[in-house]
Amino acid sequence: MELEPTPDERELIAAVAEVARGTLAPQAAAADEAERVAPEVLKTLASVGVFGLNLPEELGGPGIGSVAMSHMVAEVAQACAATASIITAHYLATDAILLGATDEQRRALLPAAAEGRTIGAFGLTEPGAGSNPVEMSTRAVRTEDGWHLKGTKHFITNAGFADFIVVFAITDPEAGHHGISAFLVEPKTTPGVTFNTPEKTMGLRGSPIYEFVIDAHLPESALLGTEGDGFRTAMQVLDRGRIEVAAMSLGVSRAALDAAIAWAKERKISGKPINRLQDIAFKLADMHTRFRAAWLLTMEAAAARDSGDFTLESATAKLFASEAAAFITDEALQIHGGYGFTRDFPLERYVRDVRIYRIYEGSSEIQRTIISRALSK
């Protein structure tokens, strides 16, 4: 299993890292305060191909491996976690098209999405159906010339400014998960789609999430792929998305660890830097150890993604990396003491941003369920 990028992939990683450090990092605090990432920042990322990292060359992407992609997601998250959230939510939508759509739909939709000319959102979660999509209430009913789609989706990243949303709905209430289908909705040109104001979130504030209501007629061509395949598509997408959450966890963890190491060298008590204190030194050692373990689990899962079934690896990486990020960011803030609790330093933002990683794309409890079921087989 190859856990290292190729030389060509390393060049692309370096280009993304340069943009992340030069453009994303300087605006991260402002995006958090303003509760939005500036559009020009996304355009800069589009210029180095970040929006299409998950796609093959024939559909506009760079055709890279998932290990290299995970490196780049981590670089973006290390600079600005909110921007990484916008990008990876876009990947969920384009992955759904890549995995579940017809060839004609893929060719029509994905090249523009790969270039960042269109932005996607992934409409699965509902107010009453988060961890168990089978309990969703959104319905799609056939009409003479298409479908009527009606329901509410909740906590959907990008939705309010997306050019397309992949929306999952029940098409056969008697068929269980085989009765779920996916639809492509273009909210800017589809009457009957309304958005609430963005949620006031604890972290990732520059990456707004929305509730939206849809009561709209869609053409037959809006059905993504085959009727009844929506659940399978969603689960495959979430397997991929969990690796991206793990990679984002790595990015913020790295930022927090670097900040803690630098502060411990600089901050002095009784004339000596605090990294000479055993309590601080041991904290740094534990943070580093968890970071390295999370890194290896994430890259192993990314490599498995390119070689076949990877549900167990994906869930394991997401569980460990997200919980490691919580530990590392909290310890980094502790090392900074009272300074870490102020907005003059980024530590409090890191702590707020990583909290959601243990919830979305399946909570830590759901990951433990997936892992335990896989082990029982």
3-class SS of residue 154: strand
Sheet strands (E) in 208-320 = 209-219, 268-269, 272-273
Contact predicate 346/251, CB 8 Å? no
And the tokens for 125? 């979660």
Provide the 10 A C-beta neighbour count for residue 210. 22
And the tokens for 219? 């053409």
Provide the 10 A C-beta neighbour count for residue 287. 23
- Residue 291 to residues 63, 232, 286, 325: CA-CA distances in angstroms? 28, 32, 9, 8
In whole angstroms, what separates CA 178 from the centre of its chain?
26
Contact predicate 230/181, CB 8 Å? yes
Compute the Cα dihedral for 28, 34, 36, 38 and give only its sign: negative
DSSP tag of 228: T
Compute the C-alpha angle 281/282/287, nearest 5°.
100
- With helix as H, strand as E and coil as C, how does 341-368 read? HCCCCCHHHHHHHHHHHHCCCCCHHHHH
Catalytic residue among 126, 227, 361, 365: 361
Contact predicate 122/166, CB 8 Å? yes
Catalytic annotation on 313? Answer: no
Contact predicate 108/94, CB 8 Å? no
Short-list 20, 60, 55, CA closest to 248: 20
For helices 230-266 and 81-100, angle between their N-to-C axes, nearest 10 degrees: 160
Q: What are the catalytic residues?
A: 361
